Chains A and B, each alone.
Chain A
């Protein structure tokens, strides 16, 4: 396996002066392409901050971050937006779908926003992904009419739409019942095995974490295990 991303000595401090809070304290991490890793750690350990930085939504205070050979720290906002669109997918705890759009429209959003329109090819891929997620009968449903588990599966399909190398999932099962959680994790595992997409999944749930081949434990702003 090749190295997908490298972070070195990541420091992230929120606020300034006496109110400054250092969340990451020199975190170093490598992720190989095709990995399926769980990110474990107590609340406030820096998991979400790390995912946000890896997702190029925020820059660290200091440290380096290289993904696919590109320096993510030096890149400007436009370059990061484009990079994120092409190479990184997100799955959030609360699915965060666009409420006024159908399941299919949500899934194809990342492609449509890049191409400036909803192409037939994008629709086809979006449908295929939803079918794969077991949502063949919910393709044109407004997201408001979907259950929590269905919404999360739509979110997974959306994260995969542009065929990203990395999918960052922040507590993707945290808001689901056990059955739905297992279903979503099985789908993620299947995609990881079949397409080689790298997953980094933040979770508090040891059982969910055990479904991943690697566990990365974060504590007090550094990787501890």
Chain B
């Protein structure tokens, strides 16, 4: 019986798709655990280095590092935009890019030019069409990004700041709130905005610098910016897996309802065909 052949075919193809989305969901779920662990593992460093920076901001160094001094006039700003390499993770990249574009527009309206550094394939291909100046890129960092892969990309921006080509540096990344929620956000990296230090440190003091203040501060502040970007990248991986898990779960559920509907349509068509056949036979028998 050739009833509903198309429907059967369609059900089969949706079932295959569902198998894929379900597999992706499970893979993302297990990867998310690891990504979250990695995110938490990198936190102590950024906390410790932030402490040191806030001590430093309150010490009275004879040498003021350019990263700590805000420039009055802003002619050009830099953005570091973190996105994922792969798609199928819901609105994660779209949201981050929307935030990035909005922030850049704001500066462009003030006649300030924008330099870009993109981390992740999605942002690179989207923003290269957007017509802004991309000065450095890092892609294919994988699930366990290494800080070594980011050093060069960040250094381009830091050098630009030191040489005065850009006057502010921002980081656009996704914040991992929980599995269901990831929020895009924009942070200022340079100049470094230090927090208020603890009360007991408020007297006049300074570090002993070895060998000298400049190289030590150079290294420390570079590491600080790198650690912030690294933290953003690791967090982005956790966001990616969580978003993908949720998106794939929704896709699997949708495939399920679609299959149910089609199954119903198929059964109805089959029943109608049988009824028709019977009535034809009955009518034929009556005619004889």
Chain A bound to chain B: no
A interface list, Cβ under 8 A from B: none
